[in-house]
Amino acid sequence: MYYLTAGESHGPELSGIIEGIPAGLTVDVDQINAALAARQGGYGRGNRQKIEHDQVIITGGIRHGITLGSPIALTVKNRDHAHWSEIMNPTSPATKENTLRQVTRPRPGHADLVGGMKYNHRDLRNVLERSSARETAMRVAIGNICKQLLNQLDIKISGYVESVGGINADNSQPTDIAKIETAIKQNDLRVIDSDAVDKIHQLIDETKRNGDTVGGVIRVVAQNVPAGLGSYISWDTKLDAKLAAAVMGVNAMKGVEIGDGFKDAEEHGSQVMDEIDWQAGSGFSRNSDHLGGFEGGMTNGMPVIVKAAMKPIPTLYKPLQSADINSKEVKKANVERSDTTAIVPASIVIESVVAIELAKAITDTFDGSNMVRLKQQLTEYRDELKNF
């Protein structure tokens, strides 16, 4: 399974192609659109989302709502392109008028400066348009197709916000997806502990007033993942490594953790390892899940737990020091419209990229040509594991 996205933040649209989804999967477009709408929401979003109304358009790989096994092609329109149709015109030659709004004072923490240096862009808009998190809308559309595939295999996945700007909203660290989904629907922050919501709202409001931004921590849980996905045989076959790479591939992520990762590093081995149990009927399991469902780079049948640390968004309304790439004058960075926090959308993006990696692992391990064979092979494999 392989996917690719293209498109600039204020260009005409985002495009995506995913190859490797089995034939015979019923795809519910409403579910994709619901995920896209959820990614647009959440407390702390800026004004761009008042313009956008993300809806997926499917142009290949699906017929009468069912996948064909061929590459699936998707687009999501950028409504805001209407305000940028000349400046972001893909084909009309550059003129004085259509190259207005140039960016020359890079924002610290954004891709602006290094991207300009690497690709020799003198207008840093050429960098920020693609490095914008707008692109993650397409990863959510692709991720939702993978989530629907996993759902058909009884694998459930949910991503939510654990903390914002240092305020924790997850004292219970749940692994039951139904409980997580019920809890996070109760508020506009996708947090488990609703009693933390007021405090987080206040923090976001105050941060906005100060022209500043905040980040946070995201937690993703996947339930009923079979043991044995990924491998210990070589470093690049380890599934936890692939998950970590996928998480770090999301804009603004600065840390990734599997299970109790960083806390485990402070404990003794006897407190960290998940003791092995065996029951007639269900076979092997673990008494705890400190290792986040991974041993030796392979899933061990316990819930997969992945956490991501998101830095605050680098676009500040009270900008930090920068230097103009033309005049070389030390000046404040360019100010672009942005969000105070994008932690809620990011929780859906991280959930999506984890779903993509799990779907990839499943279709790599079993015959993913069509859903009937995939389901049959997975059922047989699950039975085999119970009897190991």
Binding site for ligand EPS (CB under 6 A): 9, 46, 48, 52, 80, 128, 132-134, 137, 315, 336-339, 345
| 58 annotated to bind ligand | no
Beta strands in 107-186 (DSSP E): 156-164, 167-168
Give dist(CA 125, CA 288) in Å, integer.
Answer: 49
| 39 annotated to bind ligand | yes
Give dist(CA 19, CA 104) in Å, integer.
Answer: 38
Q: Which is nearer to ligand EPS, 60 or 211 (CB)?
A: 211
Q: Which is nearer to ligand EPS, 223 or 338 (CB)?
A: 338
Q: How far is the CB of 310 from ligand EPS (least distance, A)?
A: 12
Q: Which is nearer to ligand EPS, 46 or 174 (CB)?
A: 46
| 101 annotated to bind ligand | no
Q: How far is the CB of 336 from ligand EPS (least distance, A)?
A: 5
Does residue 220 contact residue 306 with C-beta atoms inside 8 Å? yes
Q: Which is nearer to ligand EPS, 53 or 179 (CB)?
A: 53
| 131 annotated to bind ligand | yes
CB atoms within 10 A of CB 36: 21
Q: Which is nearer to ligand EPS, 80 or 357 (CB)?
A: 80
Q: How far is the CB of 16 from ligand EPS (least distance, A)?
A: 14
Q: How far is the CB of 10 from ligand EPS (least distance, A)?
A: 6
| 251 annotated to bind ligand | yes
| 209 annotated to bind ligand | no
Q: How far is the CB of 74 from ligand EPS (least distance, A)?
A: 15
CB atoms within 10 A of CB 59: 12
Does residue 16 contact residue 134 with C-beta atoms inside 8 Å? no
Residue nearest to ligand EPS (CB): 48
Give dist(CA 342, CA 229) in Å, integer.
Answer: 31
Q: Which of 350, 359, 290, 326 is nearest to 136 (CA)?
A: 350
Q: How far is the CB of 133 from ligand EPS (least distance, A)?
A: 4
Q: What is the DSSP string of 42-110?
A: STT--THHHH----EEEEESEETTEE-SSPEEEEEE-GGGGGSTTTT-SSSPP-SGGG-S---SPPTTS
Cβ-based burial of 255 (10 A; exposed 0-12, middle 13-18, buried ≥19):
middle
Q: How far is the CB of 207 from ligand EPS (least distance, A)?
A: 16
| 7 annotated to bind ligand | no
Tell the residue number behind the tokens 């991207």, with chain if given: 115
On the CB side of 128, CA atoms within 13 Å amount to: 24
| 130 annotated to bind ligand | yes
Q: Which is nearer to ligand EPS, 257 or 339 (CB)?
A: 339
Q: Which is nearer to ligand EPS, 17 or 128 (CB)?
A: 128
Does residue 310 contact residue 293 with C-beta atoms inside 8 Å? no
Give dist(CA 294, CA 182) in Å, integer.
Answer: 26
| 337 annotated to bind ligand | yes
Q: Can you say which residues are annotated as belonging to the binding site?
A: 39, 45, 130-132, 251-252, 296, 311-315, 337
Q: Can you say which residues are annotated as belonging to the binding site for NADP(+)?
A: 39, 45
Q: Can you say which residues are annotated as belonging to the binding site for FMN?
A: 130-132, 251-252, 296, 311-315, 337
